[in-house]
Amino acid sequence: MIQGTSSGVGKTVLTAALCRVLARAGFRVAPFKSQNMALNAAVTADGLEIGRAQAAQAEAAGIEPSVDMNPILLKPEGDDRSQVVVAGVPRGSFAFADYRELRAELMKVVEASLDRLRRAHDVVIIEGAGSPAEINLNDGEIVNMRIARLADAPVVLAGDIDRGGVFAAFVGTLALLDPEDRERVRALVINKFRGNRALLTSGLDLLTERTGRPVLGVVPYVEDVPVAAEDSLDLDGRHGPVVADIDVAVIRMPRIANFDDFEPLAREPRVRVRFVRDPAELAAADLIVLPGSKNTSGDLAWLRATGLAEAILGAARAGRLILGVCGGYQMLGETLRDPLGIESVVGEVRGLGLLPVVTTFAPAKTTVRVSARATAKAGVFAQAQGIELSAYEIHMGRTERCGGDHPFTVTERNGVRVDEADGAVNAAGNVLGTYLHGLFANDGLRRALLVELAALEGLAPDPRWGRPADGNRYDRLADVVAGALDLTLLARLLRIDPRRLSSS
């Protein structure tokens, strides 16, 4: 089990790396995180919802993601409220105090999922959440030491040296654990190290002396990790390259969801993807994006309060390109209706009025993988017409188009052939909305978008745009992490032959 001294130390990435290392060594390996709090979600082949990180970890392991890898998903809706997704299906919206009352029941779901994974795989790499030293949450937690005890799993404690204070974090975390749980921590990993490792030697020796735990490894800082950030706080301060030909501004809403949609764009050459909060930051953007939201009505109110709504309307009137995805698509419409109080106590909210659509929220949640075809004749995806693509939908409610064209036609839902219009385009062709997540992971569509944006700027397209994603990104991550770890010690913790790891 990988636990951490805090959130953001790299547990998710280390878990993905170990999944790849073990898969290459010939083991049937699976990731597991009992409870994940994240607004980036994925849809399994059977239409169930899990954290995006566990889907990426499954990809690293070379297997299809399943709901057992993340049986409890919490999707924050406010400071003290989350939608609770149990075994891939929304259970409801709960305040933290109410959620605590469910934990005995949820623990049975967690136990069953872990048991199925263990019976189907040689190795399960368990990821914790936050820190096991959050002593105010220890009573009833179902994601850290309680899971380690359930699985009788040795714990590797990870710390982030890039943020500073890593030695104190290790010592302090261990000091706050109960003796039984402290004993479960068998080794330490220092993550995100920059510089000359030799400079750490004296500190590592003293750390082992103070804690009685060996250092499993010092993992260097990895710039291009193939696992998207889970916490939207990780977006703060992220600006991309200073110089770029194509500038994409994604509105950084308080409840932004599935912001990993834009990772493939950010990896393209000559392209800058910025997450912005200020109206002035939209001035230089070639494309303005309203992303998904876990609280569409609340984030729409925030757009108006910050002046971003007026800036978006002004950009639309000036003919600039605007794209709304999922919740962003709903905001671009005429009206958002909520007769059952799914998102707020307000029964009806006026949208931005840029698309001829009306959204009605409902309790049923759509979680489905789809195949689709680009059909827009103008606008953001004008160059993409006829391109076939894969995507997924995660949304609550139904959006009806009252006129105009649609940018995509859904041709398959969970393997069943259909012929359904998706999204809307305004009459001028410069504002477009869609429910489809994962669009930019499609190489042809991504290139078509960038070619269109370049043409509007009078620039030549880059021949590198839209190249297939490098399938070796997980291998490169595994090489870096395995090269930094004591594989003999790792094999001992896993109770496997170390020769199998050294040959992978």
**What is the value of pTM for the model shown?**
0.91
Question: How much is the pLDDT for 240?
Answer: 58
Give the pLDDT score at 11: 97
Residue ranges of the chain assigned to CATH 3.40.50.300: 2-226+472-502
Residue 365 in tokens: 């949640």
Among 250, 255, 258, CA closest to 296: 255
What's the pLDDT at 341? 86
Contact predicate 385/377, CB 8 Å: yes
Closest to 72 in 3D by CA, of 113, 44, 40, 43 = 113
Is 326 an annotated catalytic residue? yes
Low-confidence ranges of the chain (pLDDT < 70): 229-242, 471, 503-504
Q: Is 406 a catalytic residue?
A: no
- pLDDT at residue 235, rounded to an integer: 62
pLDDT, position 44: 97
pLDDT at 50: 97
**Distance (Å, whole) CA 490 – CA 215:** 11
> What does the pLDDT read at residue 278?
97
Integer Cα distance of 320 and 328 in angstroms? 16
Each residue of 270-298: b (16+ CB within 10 Å) or e? bbbbbbbeebebbeebbbbbbbbbbbbbb
pLDDT at 241: 66
* Per-residue confidence (pLDDT) for residue 465, from 0 to 100: 96
Q: Within 10 A of 413 (CB to CB), how many other CB atoms are there?
A: 17
| CATH for 246-456 (3.40.50.880, 3.20.20.70, 2.70.240.10, 3.20.20.80) | 3.40.50.880
Query: Of residues 121, 395, 406, 437, which has the active-site annotation?
Result: 437
**Of the CATH numbers 3.40.50.300, 1.10.3720.10, 2.60.40.3080, 3.30.300.10, which one belongs to the domain with range 2-226+472-502?**
3.40.50.300
- pLDDT score recorded for residue 232: 53
133 neighbors 172 (Cβ within 8 angstroms): yes
Beta bridge partners, 249, equal 274, 288
Query: What are 158's two structure tokens?
Result: 């990870």
- Residue 415, C-beta contacts closer than 8 angstroms, at least 6 positions apart: none
The span from the CA of 256 to the CA of 294, in Å, is 7
What pLDDT is stored for residue 481 in this prediction? 97
CATH 3.40.50.880 region(s) of the chain? 246-456
Instruction: Catalytic residue, from 19, 121, 326, 406: name it.
Output: 326
184 within 8 A of 147, measured Cβ to Cβ? no
The residue with tokens 């020769």 is 499
**What pLDDT was estimated at residue 407?**
95
Tell me what pLDDT residue 209 has: 97
